[in-house]
Amino acid sequence: MGDPPVRFGGRGGESLSCPYPNNLMRHKQRKECQYKATGKVIYDEFCPTYSKPIIDEIDRVLARHYGFTDEELDFIINYDIKYRMGRDALENDESS
């Protein structure tokens, strides 16, 4: 069963099947910690850095839907790189 499409009305009625949740699940890391008060805690740590291309595509669809300029979209994508993904993510991509 695939992801339901995310539909945006108006401006051409684009639809985008959103693989973001599946991508997050695919790249999660299972972690375990031992605490005195609660004992062993097992949790999933999600790494959205691996989903950056999907996030950028979602941003592009939303930018078209809301009528953002190219400059506004560029700001959003670069903000994402700088503050959400961390400066190291950009440096790692360039060195690869």
Domain map of the chain by residue range? 17-88
The radius of gyration of the chain from alpha carbons, rounded to an integer in Å, stands at 17
Q: For the chain, what percentages of helix, strand and coil (3-state, to nearest 5) are there?
A: 50, 20, 25
Q: Please, what is the Cα angle at 28 between 27 and 33, to 5 degrees? A: 150
Percent of the chain with pLDDT over 70: 68
Q: DSSP H helical segments within the chain, as ranges?
A: 20-26, 52-66, 70-79, 87-95
CA separation for the pair 78, 73 (Å, rounded) = 9
pTM over the 0.85 mark:
no
pLDDT in tens, 16-51: 557 888 899 999 999 999 999 999 999 999 988 888
